[in-house]
Amino acid sequence: AQSVTQLDSHVSVSEGTPVLLRCNYSSSYSPSLFWYVQHPNKGLQLLLKYTSAATLVKGINGFEAEFKKSETSFHLTKPSAHMSDAAEYFCVVTFLTGANNLFFGTGTRLTVIP
């Protein structure tokens, strides 16, 4: 079965400090992995994606994530948090077979303290 687990429902960091949002996946197939961000009352915006190329993926707004197959993890990081990073973040998995629908984690709410 395919699933995604976001280990923290809420993360709080101070502005200028590093961000780490954790994600583990379960898959019987080779996955594609994504991180999406959702600001209040907005749709979902793609931050970055892993599709079996380089394991370290760089995204928009200074975010990056590393695919670790041995740990079945795809954690999202950013060296220095900005106030505008406060939002809900979703780790997402899909598979290049069938309907390739997206399986979302339950989300991590990031709070940035000034």
**Contact residues for another protein, defined by CB under 8 A:** 32, 34, 36, 42-46, 49, 51, 90, 94-96, 98-107
Nearer to another protein, 17 or 39 (CB): 39
Nearer to another protein, 33 or 81 (CB): 33
Rounded distance between C-alpha atoms, residue 72 and residue 25, angstroms? 6
Considering the complex, what minimum distance in angstroms separates the CB of residue 50 from another protein?
10
Q: Is there a contact between 93 and 82 (Cβ–Cβ < 8 Å)?
A: no
- In angstroms, what CA-CA distances link 80 with 16, 49, 83? 4, 20, 10
Considering the complex, what minimum distance in angstroms separates the CB of residue 15 from another protein?
25
Considering the complex, what minimum distance in angstroms separates the CB of residue 88 from another protein?
9
User: In the 8-state DSSP scheme, what is residue 15?
Assistant: T
User: In the 8-state DSSP scheme, what is residue 72?
Assistant: T
- In angstroms, what CA-CA distances link 89 with 96, 106, 109? 23, 9, 6
Nearer to another protein, 19 or 105 (CB): 105
Nearer to another protein, 45 or 80 (CB): 45
